[in-house]
Structure 1
Amino acid sequence: MLLGVIADDFTGASDIANTISKGVAPAGGLRTAQFLGVPKGAAAVDIEAGVVALKSRTVPVEEAVSDSLRALKWLLAQGCQQIVFKYCSTFDSTRIGNIGPVGEALAVALGAKGVVVCPAFPGAGRTIYMGHLFVQDRLLNESGMQNHPLTPMTDPDIRRWLALQTKATVGHIGLATVRKGMTAVSHALATTDDTFVIVDATSDEDLITIGSAITDHKLVTGGSGIAIGLPNNFISRGLASGNFGGQVGVAGPEAILAGSCSGATRGQIDLHKENHPTLAIDVDKVMSGATKSDDIVEFIKLNNGKAPLAYSSGTPDEVCQMQAKYGREEVAAKLDDFFADVARKLVQSGVKRLVVAGGETSGAVVSALDLGALTIGQEIDPGVPVLVSHGDQPIALALKSGNFGSPDFFTKAIERLNAK
């Protein structure tokens, strides 16, 4: 294994696994596998990039650091020459972490400084300019992320936000330097005294420049976009041959579960409702126990073949009301357990194609299913690939971050998960 990734949630892990597997033409990407949690044994010898998916974005800081260091130890034991700490392209974190503490712990463990911090993902509308993070044409704190139920992002200045989370120093490399090319970026990183360096990027070409400049860096951090240029570093040195994600899938019954409250997911649900059976999950009834996981499973089974969708994606006001009534952590934990139980029962009942929207929901679902290593297939939409678990009962998955995907993502994903 050449490249190791520690991802702080499951949808983000799929996102960067897709990026690494796809690579950049004409060289292509790396043979990539996604692991759900830290594996107990060694990886297959033909895997060139391994992505360890953790559920560490919103857990207590100490737990996030401990889990990430365990993942680091395993990846280094597989022979990884470079480590990527992958977090969301909207830098989802609170004022105390977890991005800063995890990044700092990894930097200390690897003896790294001048560590790139670049959540940019231009293909999904995330760019960094003058150290500020934009979503499309809006600053991060005006994009809807300020209403996130667990990690409200109220400051677009990534330098300032990261500095709140770490004792390490935070620097900045502006777009003008990036546009001068890899030599300029490499020199700026080599001569800095800062542990972390926010690097501007507004295009994929910027990310490729940054990737070329960090060939020998032990640690890189960012969104999935930062990995665009990394496969070619290994391919150009003859360490990897180049690979493109193939078309894989599984035939069989399908289900869609949505636990994201993002505007993009709510819009996708509204469009799906027009032609497919949908079921709104009443969070109040889930909290009280009036709605059971069996109710959702029965709805899905009754609508087999029609791309049925069950969702708990409320508006910001509705989310606030539930959090005020029951507590933020209590609502999140209850819904995670609920969706996990639904998914487990769906798979037991024969569902073979499963689409999940929302990072926390995806984490709960795949943790419950215990699927092992996942093969990376074709891209459904930017940042969202087909994933296939190869076991006694193969399952095809699509794990979508809340803000990702085109308006018709759900119907497109169900189709792409099908074996051709």
Structure 2
Amino acid sequence: MDTQQTTSLLVGLAVIVLLARLLGALARRCGQPAVIGEVLAGVALGPTLLDGALSDALFPDTVRPLLSALAAVGVAVFMFIVGLEIDAALLRGNGRLAVTVSLSSMLVPCGLGMLLALYLAGDYSTGDKQGLVLFMGVAMAITAFPVLARILTDRQMTRTPLGAVALACAAIGDVLAWALLAAVVAISSPGGADQWRMLLAVPYLLVMFFVLRPLLRRLAARRSELRLTPTLFACILAGLLLSAAATEWVGLHYIFGAFLFGAILPRTGTEQLHAEVHNRLGQMTGTLLLPVFFLVSGLKVDLSDMDTGGLGTLALIMLVAVGGKSAGAIAAARLHRMPLRQSAALATLLNTRGLTELIVLNVGLQLGFIGQDLYSLMVVMAVITTAMTGPLLSWIIGRPRENDPPPAAGAPERKPGTVGTPA
């Protein structure tokens, strides 16, 4: 890099960090997750406002590839943290209900999303109709597990029956969503000389689950108190980066490898280690790298030319996203005799999409499943569905009060998603 590139990069990063922090804090004061403000910070610096003049001045073309590289690292670390949060213990006592609601709340919006894609293919197709249809189905089925967990924590609901079910449903949904997206990428990837690499995904998964995972469990079991030494921290970082690189090389996306490495790390006896990993990785990722990702995502959002046709498409997207997720969740919850109000609250929580949706949309844009116009509308949907969660939840079950009694003393404390994930 020359002096001008270095200066532009450092100044741009400072602007990103401060603006994301400012708008994130403003969003929190308005009762919204901080991720709403951080996403809006990225959109504000993009071409939607002032025809991109501000972004062109702060982030010239010579700097943007560097920002994209930093964003990729941030997303990889974030996906590792998400995988680390996925814990089978969340299903304890709620397994059947959580599985049923999770499947229903994914299948209904997924099917409706595919039908919507068929309807929109004439105006928004990028030439890969199959990829568009499959991708839109997955994008409509997403629930943001980390943001949902933070909302529950802020409302003191993590140890309530409703909060436990919501966390379990979101955890199952996350795993299913990434598996479905991986399948879409594999099915829709264009053929070529390197297509044979996709076959290596199977031995990669076998090694991760049946070789590396048992090995890590045995190593963890040998030490009663496993602490995060510099050497161990370096090994964890190297592992997540190598796993991400492996899935990228075989033809999947690097986010799957990072997520899977976090998911296979042992849970039993490593609680302190997990907390330390969160503290080390979470602060830098949440303060610097993820805001860079929001900026890179925002630079691709252009709503300046939206007309009535675009508004109509956005209305259809919202109807499918919110209606499909809500109908699937409420129907399954009612089958298990959950009260109507609790079912509606659960459906509202599962409509939270947040950063997870942005990551999925960026994968679709990068791989050519969707174009910039549809990408922009889907980002708006992700912001709206996340922003409406808090107000709707307050309307359905009431606002949390400071003088509410604390949870029972014997209840296990579980606060997933509170460290290193956007609030």
TM-score range, shorter chain: under 0.3
Bigger helix fraction: 2
Higher relative contact order (CA 8 A, sep 6+): 2
TM-score w.r.t. the length of structure 2 is 0.27
Bigger strand fraction: 1
